[in-house]
C-alpha cells in the first residue's frame, strides 16, 4: 500500500484545478493508497480557499464546494488526519533552529514537516507530497522522499 503525506500546498490541488492537480489526483487514486494529512492542514486548507475567495480568484460557491468536498473526504476516511502533539511542536522548534538561520523555515511549514517526520518514523512514507520548493528541499534534507506535483 502506498502511503503519502500531503502538505496543504499539494492537498489543495485535489480540490481546485491548478498546476500539479493531475499528479496529486493520481497519487490519491492509487489502489489501497493512504493519504495522510496533519490536523493543521484542515485549518490551512480552509484558510487558503478563504484567501482565494477574498482575492476574487474563486467564488463563494466554489469555496463552499471545495471545502465541503474536503470535509466529506475526511468524514469518509479517505484522508487520515494526524493529530498534532506537544512533541510535534518541539520537533518543529528544532527544525526552525536547524534550518531557520539559513533557509526560509516558516512556522507552519515546520509543524507540517514535524508531523510528516513523526509519521515517517513510525511507518516509512512513500512520499512527502508538497508544492513548496523550499519546504521540499528541507524535507529532502531531513530524509523524506519528496514528490513535488508541480515538477515533471
Separation between Cα atoms, residue 66 and residue 47, nearest integer Å? 12
Domain contains 30: yes
Helices (H) and strands (E) in the chain — how many of each?
Answer: 7, 5
* pLDDT of res. 32: 86
Domain contains 152: no
Residues 6+ apart with CB under 8 A from 131: 7, 9, 10, 13, 20, 148, 149, 150
Write phi, then psi, for 39 (nearest 5 degrees).
-60, -30
Q: How many domains does the chain have?
A: 1
Domain contains 68: yes
Q: Which three cell numbers stand for residue 23?
A: 499528479
Domain contains 15: yes
- Mean pLDDT in the chain? 96
Domain contains 78: yes
CA 11 to chain centre: 5
Q: Report, as an integer, the average pLDDT of 116-130.
A: 97
8 Å CB contact between 13 and 21: yes
Domain contains 82: yes
Q: Report, as an integer, the average pLDDT of 14-39.
A: 95
- Give the CATH number, domain containing residue 40: 3.40.50.1010
| Domain range enclosing 72 | 3-147
8 Å CB contact between 24 and 35: no
Instruction: Kindly report, residue by residue over 65-86, the tens digit of the pLDDT.
Output: 999 999 999 999 999 999 999 9
CA–CA distances in Å: residue 58 to residues 16, 23, 62, 64: 9, 22, 6, 10
8 Å CB contact between 13 and 149: yes
* pLDDT of res. 93: 98
Position 152 pLDDT exceeds 90: no
Domain contains 85: yes
Domain contains 70: yes
Amino acid at each position: 500500500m502506498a502511503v503519502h503525506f500531503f502538505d496543504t500546498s499539494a492537498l489543495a490541488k485535489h480540490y481546485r484545478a491548478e498546476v500539479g492537480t493531475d499528479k496529486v489526483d493520481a497519487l490519491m487514486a492509487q489502489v489501497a493508497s493512504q493519504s495522510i494529512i496533519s490536523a493543521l492542514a484542515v485549518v490551512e486548507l480552509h484558510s487558503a480557499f478563504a484567501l482565494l475567495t477574498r482575492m476574487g480568484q474563486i467564488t463563494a460557491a466554489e469555496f463552499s464546494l471545495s471545502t465541503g468536498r474536503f470535509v466529506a473526504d475526511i468524514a469518509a476516511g479517505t484522508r487520515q488526519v494526524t493529530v498534532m502533539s506537544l512533541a510535534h511542536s518541539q520537533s518543529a522548534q528544532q527544525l526552525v533552529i536547524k534550518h531557520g538561520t539559513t533557509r526560509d523555515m516558516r512556522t507552519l511549514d515546520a509543524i507540517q514537516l514535524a508531523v510528516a517526520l513523526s509519521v515517517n518514523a513510525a511507518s516509512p512514507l512513500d512520499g512527502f507530497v508538497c508544492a513548496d520548493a523550499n519546504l521540499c528541499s528541507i524535507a529532502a534534507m531531513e530524509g523524506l522522499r519528496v514528490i513535488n506535483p508541480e515538477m515533471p
